[in-house]
Amino acid sequence: MAKNKTAYVCTECGQDYPRWQGQCSACQEWNTITEVRLGAATAARSGSFSGYAGAGSSEVKTLDQIDLNEVPRIASGFAEFDRVLGGGIVAGSAILIGGHPGAGKSTLLLQTLCQLAETLPALYVTGEESLQQVAMRAKRLGLPTGKLKMLSETNVDTICDVALREQPKIIVIDSIQVMHISDVQSSPGSVAQVRESAAFLTRFAKQHNIAIIMVGHVTKDGSLAGPKVLEHCIDCSVMFEGDSDSRYRTLRSHKNRFGAINELGVFAMTERGLREVANPSAIFLSRADEAASGSLVMVVWEGTRPLLVELQVLVDHSALANPRRVAVGMDSNRLAMLLAVMHRHGGLQMADQDVFVNVVGGVKVTETSADLTLLLAMLSSFRGEVLPRDLVVFGEVGLSGEIRPVPNGQERLVEAAKHGFRRAIVPIANAPKKAPSGMEIIGVSKLSEALTAL
Ligand code: TYD
Ligand code: MG
């Protein structure tokens, strides 16, 4: 008989250790490592934790013998969702959808599955809401309800038994945090249970070629419970973001074995469920009719497409000894650095000014292409001068005041032209020989040139 095994698992990040220690070396948290007893079956399984165990036969092949046929994908019915997944749901893959409670994960998956069930067998497992709640929601949203199989269950073994009987092609698990496996001796919701359940389901997905989508809630600091574990065993991890008080939700991939990451999908939460937003630039650009100083539009690159976003800066005289620098939707260290560049190379003294930066629409900009936009918007606010409404700006600013090119300059300009922008200030290396029709492009190589151009 196989011996019962013990593992030591960090309850914060899910890292496991052969013996107990006070501090987790992975996440540096103290006193988070707890003893977990694995059942015989799990102990035998936990040897290979890649989730790919059992993904194929143990036959050895050279790379050129491998069948390169395109992995079959299931279209989810939402073009935005498909794009984030890299072109659809890959059969036999394990996908994790994370997000805050109320983000709309259950709604998105219910809508997707009801539509999919019309053409292929699908199973929706709900562990959080009752069957009646889900049914009421489906009815209210006017979804087709005749084909989707529903199951209210939290035991992973039972779910797999049902799946073998029903032979679905796609399963939704809502949510992974309430799932448990009988041979892990730890309470449901603990990291050990979540991690073993996710690993078990991932293997099940591979073995039976069933796509499994798992819902995962994020913790207070925005990471998935046991993130390391969940993220490394699954194939694809996407995050559903957005405040519950805003209408718009964004879906972004953080890991994808079958496509590009950082792909963005935009949805709107309406009273009739989630609607996809095909032209996101339009919503982030819904500017007030009256032009104001400190407001400027930039083109950021999101995954594989450009997105026009408005940036607002407010510079105001500060009554404090340490003026405030607040950045919403941008990195505040970057803001501090750009202020220094502005002082040194733009000759603008802002040591006694509060600076507030806001990216409109709740977008988070991580790109450096927003640098130049930020500096010009800052100048506009500082001087109280309104910038032309048909002006768009992007470019990276270096520490010596040079303007560096950013990737995909041409596509960014085309997107701006499509939305009616007539003037652009861009890095000189990004200025095309032939501008998009009707657009005047000013290429700059130094901060001072940009200020003059303005
Ligand atoms: P839900 O899918 O239950 O979120 P999650 O599963 O991520 O926790 O979505 C819940 C929120 O969405 C809730 O606050 C109400 C809102 N909502 C709408 O505004 N319209 C709708 O048609 C639906 C179904 C939900
Ligand atoms: Mg839910």
Nearest-atom number in ligand 1 for the CA of 140 is 22
* Position 65 in a domain: no
Domain boundary among 278, 302, 334: 278
320-323 long-range contacts (CB < 8 A, ≥24 apart) are: 320/354, 323/350, 323/351, 323/352, 323/353, 323/354, 323/355
Contacts of 23 (CB under 8 A, 6+ apart): 29, 30
The 3-state DSSP class for residue 274 equals strand
How far does the centroid of ligand 2 lie from the alpha carbon of residue 197, in Å?
18
- Would you call 289 exposed, middle or buried from its count of C-beta atoms within 10 A (0-12, 13-18, 19+)? exposed
Q: Which CATH number belongs to the domain containing residue 330 in this structure?
A: 3.30.230.10
Distance CA 392, CA 419 (A): 10
For residue 91, give Cα distances in angstroms to 74, 156, 169, 231. Answer: 7, 20, 8, 19
Is residue 110 located within the same domain as residue 192?
Answer: yes
* Position 425 in a domain: yes
Is residue 288 located within the same domain as residue 247?
Answer: no
**Reduced to 3 DSSP states, what percent helix, strand and coil does the chain have, rounded to the nearest 5?**
30, 30, 40
Distance CA 414, CA 432 (A): 11
Domain of 34 in residue numbering reads as 1-39
Best residue among 269, 270, 271, 272 to mutate for probing ligand 1's pocket (most ligand atoms within 8 Å of CB) is 269
Is residue 92 located within the same domain as residue 28?
Answer: no
Is residue 169 located within the same domain as residue 223?
Answer: yes
Nearest-atom number in ligand 1 for the CA of 174 is 6
Q: Which CATH number belongs to the domain containing residue 262 in this structure?
A: 3.40.50.300
Ligand nearest to the CA of residue 268, numbered in listed order: 1
**Structure tokens, 310:** 């408005």
* Position 237 in a domain: yes
Is residue 269 located within the same domain as residue 349?
Answer: no
Distance CA 437, CA 417 (A): 8
**Structure tokens, 128:** 């959080």
How many residues are recorded in the chain? 454
Nearest-atom number in ligand 1 for the CA of 244 is 14
Ligand nearest to the CA of residue 248, numbered in listed order: 1
How far does the centroid of ligand 1 lie from the alpha carbon of residue 199, in Å?
28
Is residue 124 located within the same domain as residue 268?
Answer: yes
At residue 435, the pLDDT reads 81
Domain boundary among 278, 311, 339: 278
Specify the number of domains making up the chain.
3
In sign, the C-alpha dihedral spanning 343, 381, 406, 450 is negative
Nearest CA to ligand 1 atom 21: 273
Domain boundary among 278, 307, 336: 278
Rg from Cα positions in the chain: 26
Taking only the tens of pLDDT, the chain with its 454 residues reads 445 677 787 777 777 788 899 998 888 888 888 887 765 555 444 444 444 444 556 788 888 887 777 678 899 999 999 989 988 999 999 999 988 888 899 999 999 999 999 999 999 999 999 999 999 999 999 999 899 999 999 999 999 999 999 999 999 999 898 999 988 877 777 777 888 899 899 999 999 999 999 998 876 655 555 555 677 788 999 988 876 667 788 888 888 888 887 788 889 888 889 998 888 777 777 666 677 888 999 999 887 788 898 999 999 999 999 999 999 989 999 999 999 999 999 888 888 999 999 988 777 888 899 999 999 999 999 999 988 888 999 999 999 999 999 999 988 998 898 888 899 999 999 988 888 888 899 999 999 998 888 8
* Position 15 in a domain: yes
**Structure tokens, 445:** 């190589």
Nearest CA to ligand 1 atom 11: 102
* Position 61 in a domain: no
Distance CA 112, CA 170 (A): 11
Contact residues of ligand 1, CB 6 A cut-off: 99, 101-107, 137, 141, 244, 269, 271-273
At residue 95, the pLDDT reads 94
* Position 49 in a domain: no
Is residue 384 located within the same domain as residue 402?
Answer: yes
At residue 208, the pLDDT reads 93
* Position 50 in a domain: no
408 sits in the region (left: phi over 0; alpha: psi -120 to 50; else beta) called left
Instruction: Enter the pTM of the model.
Output: 0.77
The 3-state DSSP class for residue 203 equals helix
Is residue 136 located within the same domain as residue 226?
Answer: yes
